[in-house]
Amino acid sequence: MKNIVISGYYGFNNLGDEAVLAGISSLLKEKSKDLKITVLSAEPEQTAERYGLNAVSRTSVIQILAALAEADLFISGGGSLLQDVTGSFSVPYYLGLAWLARLQGTKTVYYAQGAGPLNKKWSQLLTAFSLNRFELLGVRDQGSQNLLQEIGVKKEIELTVDPVFALYDPLNNLKQQIKGKIEVGISVRPWSVDYISELAAALNQFAEGKKIKFIIFPMHQGSDEESSLQLQKKLKAEAEICDLPPVPGEALKAFSQLDLFVGVRLHSLIFALLNQIPLLALSYDPKIEGLMSELDYLPLIKLEDLEADQAAAELENIFAARYSLRKKIKGFLKLKKSEAEDFAELVLEEVDTCES
């Protein structure tokens, strides 16, 4: 049996990151039954119970070293772990774990991550120096690949897809129920740009003359609730805040009967896509643009450029074309799931070449 250790932003009640873990672990377990997977988590007992995996504390050096001592492969990812915008701790922490693995002779994989922003010179140098020593590098978008090459990563970088696309199941995308109202899902998050009022104005404009129900989904528990409440108070049509289940597979189902979606958080957009829901993406980060680069039939507006009239017009357009857009999204999902499976096979090839 081969042992794999996975590091990421797990155990923090962020549905996007939890879905990343669900995607990675399901792919690997589906393709190889002879694996023991251990996750570094902020809530190891919760993670172990939720996913049927082993888990240890991400802050216990003793537990981490013990897990790495038995590991054949160390996986860093996915998500956007290597960035220095939210603080200076992420880059040294996640790369430090990889170096601990290497010091014990364990192979290292950078798993379908988004890279950056990396604004500090030291974080660029440390990232390039470290990643050049990984056995396998995979990024989820062209922008991340370009950034890593620009800062000095010479090793080949595989362009793959966010692991959450592995959760796509066409059997879950059955014909929508006939409803008396148009259901529009929304995900917002706190950000430096004050965009809530403009978004509310756009949604109110779109709702005029229609039977609308707005459903707001806080994706990061403990972070998104205040922004969600601010938006709800500004909406004139019926609006509710939906507390999503903590298990990604169950949370996905809450999106299934939506007619449209408007999202700021990356994985809220992916959740909507996995349910073939036409959407308007609101970008606060290049990773959103990376996702939407292959979806040029769906609109994207940067938060700092958000204007109510334009956003309302975009919603009218995708609502009018919603049935044809669902078909286009279905083709996109099949391709992305295949790409996720292909990268998982590359990862398992590294496991198979480990010495027994």
Angle, CA of 12, 18 and 24, to the nearest 5°: 140
State residue 179's pLDDT score. 76
pLDDT per position in the chain (356 positions), as tens? 899 999 999 999 999 999 999 999 999 999 888 899 999 999 999 999 999 999 999 999 999 999 999 999 999 998 999 999 887 899 999 999 999 999 999 999 999 999 999 999 999 999 999 999 999 999 999 999 999 999 999 999 999 999 999 999 887 766 566 678 999 999 999 999 999 999 999 999 999 999 999 999 999 999 999 999 999 999 999 999 999 999 999 999 999 999 999 999 999 999 999 999 999 999 999 899 999 999 999 999 999 999 999 999 999 999 999 999 999 999 999 999 999 999 999 999 998 887 54
Cis amide prior to 152 (ω within 30 degrees): no
End-to-end CA distance of the chain: 9
Pairing relation of β-strands 107-113 and 158-159?
Answer: unpaired
At residue 234, what are phi and psi to the nearest 5 degrees? -90, -10
- Domains by residue range for the chain, with CATH: 2-160 (3.40.50.11930), 170-332 (3.40.50.2000)
CA atoms of 222 and 39, how far apart (whole Å): 22
294-305 burial string, b = 16+ CB within 10 Å, else e? Answer: ebeebbbbebee
State residue 163's pLDDT score. 96
